[in-house]
Amino acid sequence: MFRPAAGQDLLELWFPGVHSDIGGGGPPEGCRLWWNSFQWMQEQAATAGLYFDAEKLNALVAEKPSQAWAEPINSSFQSASWYLGEIWPKLTYCPKLKIRYPRCNFGRHRDIHSGALIDQAALVRIRAPDLAYIPKNLPKTFISSVKALAELSPYLPVP
């Protein structure tokens, strides 16, 4: 579970997609779901004082997709070689026992804890009937409440 250290004002948001959709690394053409998370991270970093080369940044983000949240989710993780990595044990932390132990993932989704903040890109995607985006790691009550909202805020906490 993410907890900022005392005196820090860090913010963690959950975006739609798989790892390469959020942090890049996916195929460059036809897969721009990364745009929302990248734009948010860039704005947060710039506010904290990080310098960006404007020319290089503009070359990367100048053409915003009209509906970046609706871009396809990268499916490269559905290959047989990816599933081999799912049976390789990884260290997992148990906060109740305060220990790390090896565990195979077996394709489980990441845990999204109560209080986690879901970005508007995911919220809009959940509401889009043609995308049928219903993340398995979000409570069904949360999905229903998102669909029933009159308008969306920049992010919402998971109950």
**Cα distances (Å, whole numbers) of residue 39 to 8, 58, 127:** 21, 11, 21
Q: Which residue has the tokens 């798989």?
A: 18
Torsion over CA: 65, 68, 70, 76 (sign): positive
| Res. 146: pLDDT tops 90 | yes
Residue 92 main-chain phi, psi, to 5 deg: -120, 145
| Res. 125: pLDDT tops 90 | yes
Domain spans in the chain, listed from the N-terminal domain onward: 13-74+111-157, 76-108
Report pTM.
0.81
Tens-place pLDDT, residues 3-42 = 667 887 788 999 998 777 776 666 666 678 888 998 899 9
**What is the rounded radius of gyration, in angstroms, for the C-alpha atoms of the chain?**
17
Nearest CA to 60 out of 89, 39, 45 is that of 39
